[in-house]
Amino acid sequence: MVRKSRQLSLTAELVATVDRREPDSGPEFGLTELVDEEYELAAHQILSQNAGNPFWLFAYGSLIWKPDFEHVEHRACKAFGWRRSFSLDIVRWRASPQQPGLMMALDYGGCCHGVAFRLPAGDDHAQMLRLLRREASYKEDLPSIRWIDVQAKSQKFRALTFWAAPRSKSYYVDLSLEEQAQRLARAAGHVGTCAEYLHNTIVKLEEFGIHDSYLWRLQKLVADEIRRMQV
């Protein structure tokens, strides 16, 4: 982890030049939407794997800059054996069937610096349901929700994370950095653009003193791609 020493190429002003909203294309083909009873069961099963322990959540992307959950404490921490990866193939949210995009996940290998949030005790089930409804839409999403070991200074503990090693053929892709940049520069959906997602993530990480070399290289390529599109 190092401190920022130079300015982002993917500035807010550059991101604004590709800002747009596309119509919501609806549920994705080939995936099975979760229903209320399945959300309830999933919440119970996931919580049972951490029974008796504090409810920590490991955030490495949008959950840092748009938490949308209650928490009583947060700590910068590391997850060994994991790394950030734009490997979720999406055609909704920040993409469309006409212009697929990418969302970030955790993949195997390396070390991921992120932020652990401790949720208030007393109503873990309701908190879990809220998180699941935000992060998971389909049955196929559930296997990538897991408890992982994280470390904050000298303290080690378990924390829940989303989109860890999503290997479903329905949406996992392994693209080169250049291919990732091409998608991120172009994709947009009914909640915004992939470029905005990348920019927001890097800015918030830097506020926590977290510099991710992978994201730093990627933002430069995305900025270059956007400029080429505008020529």
**Helix ranges (DSSP H) in the chain:** 12-16, 36-48, 62-65, 124-135, 177-186, 194-207, 213-229
Name residues whose C-beta falls within 8 Å of residue 116's C-beta, 6 or more positions apart in sequence. Answer: 56, 57, 58, 59, 74, 75, 76, 77, 150, 152, 157, 159
The SS3 assignment for 133 reads: helix
∠ Cα 80 131 210 (to 5°): 35
Residue 99 structure tokens: 């212009």
Q: How distant is the alpha carbon of residue 212 from its chain centre? A: 14
Taking the model in full, what pTM does it have?
Answer: 0.91
CB 86 within 8 A of CB 180: yes
112 φ/ψ angles, rounded to the nearest 5 degrees: -110, 120
69 φ/ψ angles, rounded to the nearest 5 degrees: -155, 160
Domains and CATH numbers, the chain: 12-229 (3.10.490.10)
Nearest Cα residue to 116 out of 60, 66, 164 = 60
Q: Would you write out the chain's pLDDT as a tens digit for each of its 231 residues?
A: 444 446 899 999 999 999 999 999 888 778 889 999 999 999 999 999 999 899 999 999 999 998 878 899 999 999 999 999 999 999 999 999 999 999 999 999 999 999 999 999 888 999 999 999 999 988 989 999 999 999 999 899 999 999 998 776 677 899 999 999 999 999 999 999 999 999 999 999 999 999 999 999 999 999 999 999 988
